[in-house]
Amino acid sequence: MISIVNKNRINFHNKDTRVKISMRNHANFILKHLEINDSVKRILEKDLTTIEGRNLKLDFRAELTSGRILDIEGESDVLRDKQLKKSLGYLKENYSQEGKQTITIIIALAEGNHKRIYDKEPCIDFKPYIIEIKKYNGEQYLNIFKNKVQDKEIFSDNDCAIFEMLPEMKFNRDMNDVIDEAAHVLKDAIIPTDNKNSLITIMNLSIDYYVDDEDQRDELRGLLKMDEAFDSEFDRMMDESEQNGIKQGMVEGIALGRKEGIAVGRKEGIVEGRKEGIVEGKIEGIIEGKIEGRKEGIEEGELRILRYLMENNNGDISVEKIAEKFNHPISDVLNSK
């Protein structure tokens, strides 16, 4: 038996996960909806580590084709200064690490949001786009989708993006009924396979979050044939964004590590080389010194002998002859001590 606290925590994470998956699936639609002329180039690692060592966990982060950074944050609570300050911190850290302009989009899931811009740092241009989902009429969109099913129209990518956010829109009736009706629409809708698998995954999480009755949950899952295909699709969507970040992190990390490694290696190599060079030089110096000293000692001894012979030969042999005999210049003999 799951306690109420644990059950609420599980449900919260299901809702949180559902919203994050929607961001990942439909970031380009969100940009288009806000009339931002740009598109996602690649999904980035969501975690940022500050200089101080703090780990920041963003909901969705991507590089756009323009080179700018996109940060989309989902907020379940009423939007106030606390959340805006947090997003401002993400913007500053993105700029610090990437050196690029950041577009901040906040998807507010609650009502009564305070949209005053957090402006306690006047030197920073922080103007986030805020989408308040509860301002959209859920009944109106659900009826549009029911008509598409009746007319056998294919759901577009934009339709799928809106359908995923249906449960967060404004409804004035019990959400159990809304989810039940939405599940039946999804069952009969004509949707490309990839999008349909994604929508079934999102609907499964919505069923977990909004439907309390266990029998009703099982019935709806059976209606949508939520079997192992859900698990594989859920894992695929979760892993894809994570792996993109890991792969990019590995590439950037290897490059950075190589660069830092070369610098450190060069520095340590110079220090170590200098130490080893001094030791090796001393050893070689001693060896060469001994050889050179021995050589010079022999020559010095020969010169002294020659000089003695010259000084004590009673003129029988010329100095030049003695020097030539021992292969020494006469000047060396005369200058020897």
Q: Which two tokens stand for residue 118?
A: 């957090």
Which one, of 149, 235, 133, 215, lies nearest residue 185 by Cα? Answer: 149
* Domain assignment present for 119: yes
Q: Is 302 within a domain? A: yes
What is the average per-residue pLDDT within 113-139?
74
- For β-strands 60-64 and 40-43, DSSP reports them as antiparallel
Identify whether the C-beta of residue 63 lies closer than 8 Å to the C-beta of residue 42.
yes
From CA 183, how far away is CA 198, in angstroms rounded?
13
**201, 237 contact by CB (below 8 A):** yes
pLDDT of 297 above 80: no
82 or 259, which is more confident: 82
pLDDT in tens, 146-194: 999 999 999 998 999 999 899 999 999 999 999 999 999 999 999 988 7
113-116: list long-range contacts, CB under 8 Å, 24+ apart.
113/78, 113/79, 113/80, 114/78, 114/79, 114/80, 114/81, 115/79, 116/81, 116/84
pLDDT score of 2: 41
The domain boundary residue, chosen from 81, 106, 135: 135
pLDDT score of 318 more than 90: no
Predicted local distance difference test score (pLDDT) of residue 88: 83
Most confident of 62-71, 215-224, 292-301: 62-71
If one counts every other C-beta atom within 10 angstroms of the C-beta of residue 22, the result is 25
Per-residue model confidence (pLDDT) at position 317: 55
Rounded Cα gap, residues 35 and 28, in angstroms? 10
Q: Is residue 200 part of a domain?
A: no
Confidence of residue 209 (pLDDT cuts 50, 70, 90): confident
In a domain, 104, yes or no: yes
Confidence of residue 3 (pLDDT cuts 50, 70, 90): very low
* End-of-domain residue from the set 103, 135, 167: 135
Query: How high is the mean pLDDT of the chain?
Result: 75
User: What is the domain count for the chain?
Assistant: 2
Last residue of a domain, one of 115, 135, 155: 135
d(CA 144, CA 160): 12
Task: Find the domain containing 42 and state its range.
Answer: 34-135
Range with lowest mean pLDDT among 147-161, 228-242, 243-257: 243-257
101 and 69 Cβ atoms separated by less than 8 Å:
yes
What does the radius of gyration of the chain's CA atoms come to, in whole angstroms? Answer: 41
Calpha distance 242→222 (Å, rounded) = 30
**DSSP class per residue in 214-250:** HHHHHHHHHHTT-SHHHHHHHHHHHHHHHHHHHHHHH
Tokens representing 219? 């019935």
108 found inside a domain: yes
Whether the per-residue pLDDT at 328 is higher than 60: the answer is no
Pair 33, 55: CB distance under 8 Å: no
**Confidence check: pLDDT of 255 > 80:** no
Q: Is the pLDDT at 143 greater than 60, yes or no?
A: yes
Q: What is the mean pLDDT of residues 78-100?
A: 82
Residue 36's Cα: distance from chain center in Å? 24
Rounded mean pLDDT, 194-214: 85
Asked if residue 312 has pLDDT above 90, the reply is no
**DSSP reduced 3-state for 172:** coil
Strands (E), 100-153: 102-108, 129-132
Q: Is the pLDDT of residue 64 over 90?
A: yes
Out of 44-48, 149-153, 320-324, give the one with best mean pLDDT: 149-153
Q: Which residue has the tokens 């099982």?
A: 218
Cα torsion through 261, 262, 268, 274, rounded to 10:
170
Whether residue 200 contacts residue 231, with contact meaning beta carbons closer than 8 Å, is answered with no
Residue 221 located in a structural domain:
no
pLDDT confidence of residue 144:
96
